[in-house]
Amino acid sequence: MTQAETWSGRFNEPVAELVKQYTGSIDFDCRLAPWDIQGSLAHAQMLCEAGVLSADDLAAIRQGMAEILADIEAGRLEWSLDLEDVHMNIERRLTDKIGDAGKRLHTGRSRNDQVATDIRLWLRDEISRIRSLIQALQSALLDLAEAHAEVVMPGFTHLQVAQPVSFGHHMLAYVEMLGRDDERMADCRRRVNRMPLGAAALAGTTFPIQRETTARLLGFEGICQNSLDAVSDRDFAIEFTAAASLLMIHLSRLSEELILWMSPRFGFIDIADRFCTGSSIMPQKKNPDVPELVRGKSGRVIGHLMGLITLMKSQPLAYNKDNQEDKEPLFDTVDTLVDTLRIYADMMRGVTVKPDNMRAAVLQGFATATDLADYLVKKGLPFRDSHEVVALAVRHADGQGVDLSDLPLAVLQGFSGLIGEDVYQVLTPEGSLNARNHLGGTAPEQVRAQAARWRKALQAAD
C-alpha cells in the first residue's frame, strides 16, 4: 500500500510523484524514530489500561516495536517516501510484522498530536545534552580564569584601551553569559516537557483515554490543557531557537575576541595549531578558522529563529502542514550547537596566554588614568577637577611617548601638588587590579572567589 492508498478511499487518483516528494518528510524526520516509538509504546500501554486495546495486542506491539528499533539501529530499515513520514513508516512496518494489532495502535491518536509529542520528547533530551556541553565549556573557561587570575590585560571600551582587567576576569564574563544560557535552556525545557498527546487531530478523542497515564509513562512534567493549542503550539521551538541564538551570539563575541587577540597586532594569545589552518598561497599564515566558523554559524542559528517565527506568524488554529517545516531548523540548530560547544571547550583548552604582550598593551594605553583620578579624589580633589588634571598629564605623557608611570614625580607634581611618592602604587597595572577588590570587581582575589563559586555551582549541577 502506498501513501495514496493510506487515504485512498477519498481520492479518485493517486498523489502525483512531485507532490509526494514535495510533501514527504521522511528524509529528515526519520531522525525522530526512537522518540516516535517511545511515544507509541506509552500510548499503547495507556490504551490497554483503559480497556481499548487487549493485552495480546499490547504484547504484540511491544514485540514488533522492539524489532523495528533493532532494525533501525542496525540500518536494516528502509524508509519509504510512499509512506510520507516517520510515523506512517513505522506504523506500516509494525503492521507488516504483527498484523491487525499494528493497525489498532493509532486508535485515539492523530499524527498531529503524535508529531508534536515526538518533537518535544526529542528536544527535551537534546536540551539536557546541550546543558552538559555548556557546563563543560564553562569548566574549560574556569580553568583559564583560575590559571590567569593575576594576568593583567587591557579592558576595552569602544575597542580602545580603557582600564586594566584580569584575563581571568575576562574569561569569567563569558562564564556568566553561558550561565544565563544554561538557565534559559533549563527554563525552556520545562515548557518543552509538556505532553500534547491525547489532543488527537485537534478536538480530542471519543475514546476513554487517560492522558495522565501516558504523561507519567513518558516522563512529561505537564499536559497541554487545550487540544487545539496542543497540536498547534510551536512556542517551545521558537523559545529554544531563541535561547540557542543567544548562546551562539555569546560564542560569536568570544570568537571575535579570540581572532583579534591572536592577530600579531594584539599577540595576546595563541590557539593550538590543531584548531587552525594555513593558507594555500601564503606560507606564513596560521588562521583561526574555528572561531571564524563559530562566528559564521551564529548567523545560521539566528536564521533558524527567524524562520520559525515567520512559520508561526498568522497560522490559524489548529494544525497546518506548515508545521512540518519546524523540523529542519530545529535539527540544524541542535546539531550546530552540539558541534560548536564540543569543539569550543577543546579549543579553549588549547589557548596559550601571552601575559607580557597583554601587559605591554596596558602600558601603551594609559589604562591607569582613572586610577590616578581616583587617587587625587581620595586626596581631596573633586572628581571633575581630577579628571581634568589627569587628562593634561595624559596629554603630556602621550607627547613624550611614555606611560603615566614613567613620568618623574616632579613632573607629576607639576599637574597637582596633591601627588606624592605613593602615586606609583596606583599607576601600575597590578595596583589598579588589586584596588578593585569588591564583589564583581577585577581584583585577582575576586576572580578566584568567583571561579570557586562557579566550580561549586557546576559540581552541584552534575
**Orientation of helix 111-147 relative to helix 327-349, angle to 10°:** 10
C-alpha 414/C-alpha 418 separation (Å) is 10
The binding site for ligand ARG (CB under 6 A) comprises: 25, 29, 85, 111-112, 115, 319, 321, 323-324
CB of 87 to ligand ARG, least distance (A): 6
CA-based max dimension of the chain: 101
What is the smallest separation between the CB atom of 213 and ligand ARG, expressed in angstroms? 23
> Phi-psi region for residue 306, left (φ > 0), alpha (ψ -120 to 50) or beta?
alpha
Nearest alpha-carbon partner for 398 in 422, 371, 365 = 365
Closest to ligand ARG by CB, 89 or 446: 89
C-alpha cell read off for 45: 500501554
Q: How far is the CB of 255 from ligand ARG (least distance, A)?
A: 34
Q: Closer CB to ligand ARG, residue 8 or residue 425?
A: 8
Q: 89 or 450, CB closer to ligand ARG?
A: 89
Q: What is the DSSP letter of 231?
A: H
Q: CB 321 → ligand ARG: shortest distance, Å?
A: 6
Q: Give the DSSP letter of residue 418.
A: T
Stretch (H or E) spanning 245: helix 235-262
Please state, in angstroms and rounded to a whole number, the distance separating the CA atoms of residues 228 and 236: 16
**Closer CB to ligand ARG, residue 87 or residue 359?**
87
- Cα–Cα distance between 251 and 11 in angstroms, integer? 52
Q: Judged by CB, which is closer to ligand ARG: 118, or 371? A: 118
| Least distance (Å) between residue 354 CB and ligand ARG | 52
Residue among 25 and 298 whose Cβ is closer to ligand ARG: 25
**Nearest C-alpha neighbor of 85 from the set 60, 121, 114:** 114
Torsion on CA atoms 9, 10, 14, 18, rounded to nearest 10: -140
User: Smaller CB distance to ligand ARG: residue 173 or 309?
Assistant: 309
Residues 6+ apart with CB under 8 A from 11: 4
The minimum distance between CB 362 and ligand ARG, in angstroms, equals: 56
Give CB contacts under 8 A, 24+ apart, made by 331-334: 331/28, 331/31, 332/300, 332/304, 333/240, 333/241, 333/244, 333/301, 333/304, 334/123, 334/126, 334/130, 334/244
Minimum separation from the CB atom of position 301 to ligand ARG (A):
21
Give the helix/strand (H/E) hosting 298.
helix 289-312
Q: Radius of gyration (Cα) for the chain, nearest Å? A: 30
Measured distance CA(135)–CA(180) in Å, rounded: 11
Q: How far is the CB of 115 from ligand ARG (least distance, A)?
A: 4
* Residue 160 amino acid letter: Q
Grid cell listed for 218:
513518558
The set of catalytic residues is 158, 279
Cα distances from 85 to residues 13, 81, 397, in angstroms, run 20, 7, 72
For ligand ARG, give the closer residue by CB, 195 or 347. 195
CA 82 to chain CA centroid, nearest Å? 36
Is 7 strand, coil or helix? coil
